[in-house]
């Protein structure tokens, strides 16, 4: 059993290249810090200043939530879907 664990740790080495900084944080990280259900005003109080990564560049969560029609999010998935409906999904540009 120990031999299998050692072999699993070994794998092909993949060179990732130079590190490219990306502004903001993933939406999933912000959503994970909240408990559900949650209301929009409470989210704004707790995380409104957080900068999230979007395909069109970093945006504050408060700016994004201004464009979301819902005021109450039953689940984390409801929140993520509402935000993604405003900012879209896709690769985040790097500089």
Structure tokens at 40: 């929009």
5-9, 23-27, 49-53, 62-66: the lowest-pLDDT one: 5-9
More confident residue, 28 or 20: 28
Q: What value does the mean pLDDT take over residues 9-16?
A: 64
The predicted pLDDT at position 7 comes to 52
Q: Which residue has the higher pLDDT, 58 or 7?
A: 58
Q: In sequence order, what are the residues at sequence separation of 6 or more whose Cβ sits closer than 8 angstroms to the Cβ of residue 66?
A: none
pLDDT confidence of residue 54? 87
Full-prediction pTM beyond 0.75?
no
Name the region of 57 (left: φ>0; alpha: ψ -120 to 50; beta: rest): left
pLDDT averaged over every residue in the chain: 84
């Amino acid at each position: 059993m120990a031999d299998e664990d050692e072999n699993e740790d070994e794998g092909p080495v993949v060179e990732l290249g130079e590190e490219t900084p990306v502004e903001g944080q993933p939406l999933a990280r912000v959503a994970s810090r909240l408990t559900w259900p949650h209301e929009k005003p409470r989210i704004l109080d707790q995380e409104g200043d957080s900068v999230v990564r979007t395909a069109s560049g970093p945006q504050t969560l408060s700016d994004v939530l201004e464009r979301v029609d819902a005021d109450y999010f039953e689940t984390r998935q409801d929140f993520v879907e509402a935000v993604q409906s405003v900012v879209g999904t896709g690769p985040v540009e790097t500089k």
